[in-house]
Structure 1
Amino acid sequence: MKKTIPESIVLAGHRDYDLLSAIADDITQRAGGAGALAAGFSAMLRQCVDDVIMTPKTGRRSYDELEKTEKTYIGTRVEIELRAMLSLPKGRLDTVILGHDVDIKNTMGSNWMIPTEAIGHPCILVAADELRARCYLGLIVARPEYLTLGQNKDSKKSVSAPGFANIFWMLLDHPYPPNFWRRVPADVIEGIFAGTSGNQRMANLFRAVQRAPITRDVVEAVAQQQDFMRRIRSDNGRGTRDHLAREGILLLSGQYDAPLIAALGLPACSGSEFVSYRPVSQGEADLAAAHGIVLVWPPDPDSASGYT
């Protein structure tokens, strides 16, 4: 997205304010409130992009590695997912809100391409900045005077530099979950997926990436099996958590182990995230035991042999 975005002038008295503020209120209500919108919208964007990158299957780790057609598909996917998230109907354009035909435009760059059929209509503007892990959600009435004079070969125009001031922002430069795999070195990813079973791959993941919350989606992608949640928990000595405990590594759930996560000073995890940690003292091992997790302490340095 553009590094410098002008302050919005869509305030009371602006000719688009009443319409755009009403649409914004409807979107917020449909999402379950401002907080739910911010959380759900950013997570939805992350999922749309990651599902196309498909790191576990393709080895790709970033948006830049996608084919042109895949990048185009992300826009279609965002349109579909946003409608589903907000329970919006399909319309003559992309959707209908408060009786108005509304187009949904997505970009991973610095601007949006507005088709001729959307000119004069409200548009939902969606953007994700992968490098900075920021996202944007705005509304604009695609008036000709807000758009560029030039157009591409499909007769689509962009929002002009002055036109940006006529965007009603719902989320501006909002935190966006970073692509997990961009933070993991290529050789570490190769080691994680070298495991021949779901348990092996999950254990490799939590050995290699510690003290960092890992989402359920990442774990599921690594496990590549339907019953991964059963495997990640203690499973009569066969689960990933059991194997790691024998190596002196804690595998904690944000849903069930939040008190222990806080007591160890680890990053807070949501209910759908996990974090691993190798205690560095007998005191930390005793703390884990007090919370019901018994580790082999001190860990056997050969305990992972034959398992990775």
Structure 2
Amino acid sequence: MSKGRLALQAPGETCTNTGAGEHVLLAPDDDMDVQAVMDWLRHFDVAGLYTRAIANSIDYVLDGARTGRYDLMAPDVHPGEKASVGAKLEYEVLRSFGLAKTRPLDTHIANVPVDIKATVGSNWAIPSEAHCQLCICTQIQIGRGRHRSWLVRAHRSWLYRGSGNRDGKRGLAVDARNQWSVPLYDWTSLPVNPLTLLTADQAGLVLAKRPGQEQRFGMMFRFLEGHIIPRSVITTVGAGRHDPLRRARNIRKHLAQDGLTLLCGKWRDQQELAAAHKITLGPEDWVALRLEEGQTHDG
């Protein structure tokens, strides 16, 4: 029998867990804890908060402001670093939803213990303390730039037998995830780092040690005209250099010679100009645009 096709016990049958004792397997609709957590989550844009939390976790792992790295799939990113995105995500999720870190699992939602798990692969390592407990399981496909999450009670009967490691962690059976979990949101796109849109030659110029920051920022905004440039990209291009944000601001006059206007979301009037071009700027976002005649800003 393949690993992904276990002969699973179904809701209504008895789950034998030496830690929690024998208990009845519950379908999500009959599990009051599942319903309580789902009711609590309905007040949030779960997909949006998870998208930002994952993006922040990736930025944290890449540490672009020190390393100049911007692509988690690049060959200079160790597999262990990719895997650590999931560990960082736990804390980003707690912060995003205003949840406290508690024991024995990661947090409590609606007074229900919940473990927060994520994988950049195809399965999760469910620790022994989370067996038969509620877990939010997130799958991140870095190469395809997307993610999705489920809420599931990780019954021991629904975990792979004989696949546990020394810590007692076991994977969740695919059929259990498909049949007896509650999807929190479907596949959702992750933000694209605009530096990944550059050609190899363009990236080489923008991320080179020479010339100075202002010349390289100018090249970047010209190459990426109309693309939102978040603060993390500015600090990545200026990795290891002094005050890259000020250097970026200094290139406005140089871009103007090419007919480009540099807008920063810090200023309301510049947000409105970007919005007129159907671009939403966050408070730390930048974009280089060709404004129509008569459009100005005070930046």
Q: Please state if 1:92 is matched with 2:101.
A: no
The reply to whether residue 121 of structure 1 matches residue 121 of structure 2 is: no
Q: CA deviation at 1:192?
A: 0.7
TM superposition shift of 1:82: 1.4
List structure 1 runs of 4+ shifted beyond 4 angstroms.
224-231
Q: Is the 8 A contact 1:101 1:121 kept in 2?
A: yes
Give the number of equivalent residue pairs.
Answer: 265
The one-letter amino acid of 1:177's match is P
Take 1:123 and 1:227, find their aligned partners in 2: how far apart are those partners?
Answer: 42
Distance 1:128 1:40 in 2: 14
Cα 1:59–1:88 change in 2 (3 A) is closer
Q: CA deviation at 1:152?
A: 4.2
Q: What displacement does 1:67 show?
A: 1.6
TM-score, with structure 1 as normaliser: 0.74
What whole-Å deviation, never above 9, does each CA across 1:23-58 have from its counterpart, x for those lacking one?
A: 133345xxxx433x4323201101211321245625
User: Alpha-carbon deviation of 1:150?
Assistant: 3.9
Q: Which of residues 209, 227, 235 is equivalent to 1:220? A: 235
Q: 1: distance between equivalents of 2:272 and 2:161?
A: 58
> Residue 25 and residue 203 in structure 1: after superposition, are their counterparts in 2 closer, same or farther (change >3 A)?
farther
The partner residue of 2:71 within 48, 61, 64 is: 61
Cα 1:116–1:207 change in 2 (3 A) is same
| Uncovered stretches (5+) of structure 2, i.e. residues with no partner | 1-10, 12-25
The change in CA–CA distance for 1:74 and 1:16 in structure 2 (over 3 A counts) is farther
Supply the distance in 2 between the matched residues of 1:64 and 1:105 (Cα, whole angstroms): 24
Shift of the 24–270 alpha-carbon distance from structure 1 to 2, 3 Å rule, reads farther
Q: Choose from 118, 130, 133 the match for 2:142.
A: 130
Pair 1:177 & 2:191 matched: yes
Which residue of the partner structure matches residue 302 of structure 1?
A: none
Give the C-alpha shift of residue 113 in structure 1: 1.6
1:289: how far off? 4.1
SS in 2 for 1:290: coil
Report the CA distance between 1:140 and its aligned residue.
0.9
Structure 2 contact 29–35 (Cα < 8 Å) conserved = no
Q: Which of structures 1 and 2 has the larger relative contact order (alpha carbons within 8 angstroms, sep 6+)?
A: 2
The residue identity in structure 2 corresponding to 1:208 is F
1:77 aligned partner? 88
Label 1:267 to 1:197 Cα distance change in 2 as closer, same or farther (>3 A). farther
Aligned residues: CA RMSD: 3.0
1:269 to 269, 272, 280: 280
1:12-51 equivalent positions in 2, closer than 5 A = 14=28, 17-28=31-42, 33-35=43-45, 37-51=46-60
Q: Check 1:104–1:153 CA distance in 2 against 1; reply closer, same or farther (3 A cut).
A: same
Shift in alpha-carbon separation, 1:261–1:88, aligned structure 2, 3 A? closer
Distance 1:78 1:213 in 2: 24
Which of 119-128 and 172-181 deviates more? 172-181
Query: Counterpart in 2 of 1:246?
Result: 257
Structure 2 CA distance for aligned equivalents of residues 150 and 181 of structure 1: 43
Secondary structure class of the residue paired with 1:268: coil
